[in-house]
Amino acid sequence: MEHVSLNGKTFKTFIGYDTIMKAIDEVAAKINADYRDSKDVPVLLCVLNGSIMFMAELMKRLEFNLEVVSIKLTSYSGTSSTGKVRQAMGLTGNISGRNVIIVEDIVDTGNTIVELKRILKEYGAREIRVCTMLLKPEIYSKDEKLDYVALPIPNRFIVGFGLDYDELGRNLKDIYVLDED
- Judge contact between 57 and 127, C-beta under 8 A: no
* 174 given a catalytic annotation: no
CA 1 to each of CA 7, 134, 150, 160, 177: distance values in angstroms, whole numbers, following the listed order? 20, 21, 23, 15, 12
Q: Determine which one of 25, 105, 108, 164 is catalytic.
A: 108
**Strand residues in 79-145 grouped as ranges (E):** 80-89, 99-107, 127-135
Short-list 15, 22, 50, 21, CA closest to 169:
50
Query: Quick check: helix, strand or coil at residue 148?
Result: strand
* Active site (catalytic) residues: 108
